[in-house]
Amino acid sequence: MHVAAFLLQCGVFALVVASEENDFVLIQRSLPKTSQNFFNKTELHIIAQSLIPKEDPNAKPIHQPSGAGKVSNLTIFSYIIGGIKAVEGQFPWQAYIIIDNSFLCGGSLIMPSWIMTAAHCLHGTAYEVTLGSIDRSKNPTGSVTLQTTQKIVHENYHDYNLNNDIGLLKLPSSIELSDVINVVKLPSLSDGSKTFEGATITVSGFGKFTETSAPSKSLNYVELPIISSETCVGYYGSDIVTSATICTLITPKSTCSGDSGGPMVYKDGSNTFKQIGIVSFGSSDGCLQGPSGFTRVTSYLGWLSEKIGQDVSGSNETESATTAVPLAGTASTTTITTTKTPATKPSNCAKANFSKLRLTCCMTQPVKEAVVMTKGEKFCKVNANALKAFNEFTLNKYQNIKNNNNIDFNDPKVQRSLAKSACFVNCYLGAQQVFTSGNIEAMKLKSFLTKNQVLDSWITLTESAVDYCLEKFYSGASIIFKSGNFNCDGRMLIVVQCVQQKLAQDCPQRYPGGKCPANYMLFDSCGHIF
- Which residues lie closer than 8 Å to 206 by C-beta, 6 or more apart? 96, 104, 106, 136, 215, 216, 217, 218, 219, 220, 258, 259
What are phi and psi for residue 304, nearest 5 degrees? -65, -45
Told to judge if 464 belongs to the known catalytic residues of this protein, a careful annotator would answer no
Residue in 185, 173, 180, 176 with CA at minimum distance from that of residue 67: 185
AA letter at 54:
K
The catalytically annotated residue of 56, 108, 113, 165 is 165
Residue in 104, 108, 103, 30 with CA at minimum distance from that of residue 281: 30
Told to judge if 158 belongs to the known catalytic residues of this protein, a careful annotator would answer no
Q: Are strands 272-283 and 30-31 parallel, antiparallel or unpaired?
A: parallel
AA letter at 224:
L
3-state percent breakdown (helix, strand, coil) of the chain, nearest 5: 25, 20, 55
> Which DSSP letter does residue 233 get?
H
Q: What is the CA radius of gyration of the chain?
A: 25
The catalytically annotated residue of 204, 216, 260, 305 is 260
- Which residues lie closer than 8 Å to 167 by C-beta, 6 or more apart? 116, 117, 118, 119, 121, 122, 151, 152, 153, 154, 157, 261
CA neighbours within 13 Å on the CB side: how many for 244?
Answer: 23
The catalytically annotated residue of 2, 30, 113, 120 is 120
71: alpha, beta or left? (left if phi > 0; alpha if psi -120 to 50): beta
Residue in 259, 263, 261, 276 with CA at minimum distance from that of residue 199: 276
Told to judge if 120 belongs to the known catalytic residues of this protein, a careful annotator would answer yes
> Which DSSP letter does residue 304 get?
H
Q: Which parts of 364-455 fold into alpha helices (H)?
A: 388-391, 412-431, 442-450
> Which DSSP letter does residue 66 get?
T
- Per residue, the 3-state secondary structure of 307-371, as one string, reads HCCCCCCCCCCCCCCCCCCCCCCCCCCCCCCCCCCCCCCCCCHHHCCCCCHHHHCECCCCCCCCC
Q: Could you give the maximum distance between any two Cα atoms of the chain, in Å?
A: 83
3-state secondary structure of 33: coil
**Alpha-carbon gap, residue 214 to 183, rounded angstroms:** 28
Instruction: Report whether the peptide linkage leading into residue 366 is cis, meaning its omega lies within 30 degrees of zero.
Output: yes
Instruction: Report whether the peptide linkage leading into residue 291 is cis, meaning its omega lies within 30 degrees of zero.
Output: no
Tally of CB atoms within 10 A around 483: 17
AA letter at 382:
V
Tally of CB atoms within 10 A around 276: 25
The catalytic residues are: 120, 165, 260
